[in-house]
């Protein structure tokens, strides 16, 4: 049975980002966008990364432009925006798709593992979140409206 650590993304800087690098850690995978009403969640994601990263949490942002053209920039624009406005230091992937035939394989797999509200697999909007346990299996899926700080108890439980 595949797990999250079997996948590879491309990092925002263009280098390979094999998720096997994070094997044994807890992942919070989020599709992000710079011009969304939920963009301020970057602040809470960075706080989780800073506070719980030393205990084994990896926050992984995956910029996506599929919802309202809210991530229009290139990699440099995304990096600058995240660093300057939110001090983001957690890993970011290259811009990718989360829905449709061209969706990144990781995101296709995530949707098969945990469906969203009303049993719908498709990602509905920016800042959808998946919590992945140390064994690489999806523990939970959260709606875009779920603020990062509300996930802390579940993350701490996953960290053990």
Contact 31, 144 (CB under 8 A): no
Active site residue 64: no
Stretch (H or E) spanning 86: helix 75-86
12/51 Cα distance (integer angstroms): 23
Stretch (H or E) spanning 129: strand 129-132
What value, to the nearest 5°, has the Cα angle with vertex 157 and ends 48 and 153?
50
What value, to the nearest 5°, has the Cα angle with vertex 6 and ends 21 and 67?
95
32/148 Cα distance (integer angstroms): 13
Q: Which of 36, 62, 64, 82 is catalytic?
A: 36
User: Mind telling me the catalytic residues?
Assistant: 36
């Amino acid at each position: 049975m595949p797990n999250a650590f079997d996948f590879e993304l491309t990092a925002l800087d263009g280098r390979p980002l094999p998720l096997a690098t994070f094997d044994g850690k807890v992942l919070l995978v989020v599709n992000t966008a710079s011009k969304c009403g939920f963009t301020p969640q970057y602040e809470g994601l960075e706080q989780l990364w800073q506070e719980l990263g030393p205990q084994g949490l990896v926050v992984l942002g995956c910029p996506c432009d599929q919802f309202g053209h809210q991530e229009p920039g290139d990699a440099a624009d995304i990096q600058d925006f995240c660093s300057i406005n939110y001090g983001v230091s957690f890993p970011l992937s290259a811009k990718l798709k989360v829905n449709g035939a061209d969706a990144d394989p990781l995101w296709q797999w995530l949707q098969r593992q945990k469906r969203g509200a009303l049993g719908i697999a498709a990602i509905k909007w920016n800042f959808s979140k998946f919590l992945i346990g140390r064994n690489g299996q999806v523990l939970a899926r959260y709606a875009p409206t779920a603020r990062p700080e509300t996930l802390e108890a579940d993350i701490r439980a996953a960290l053990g």
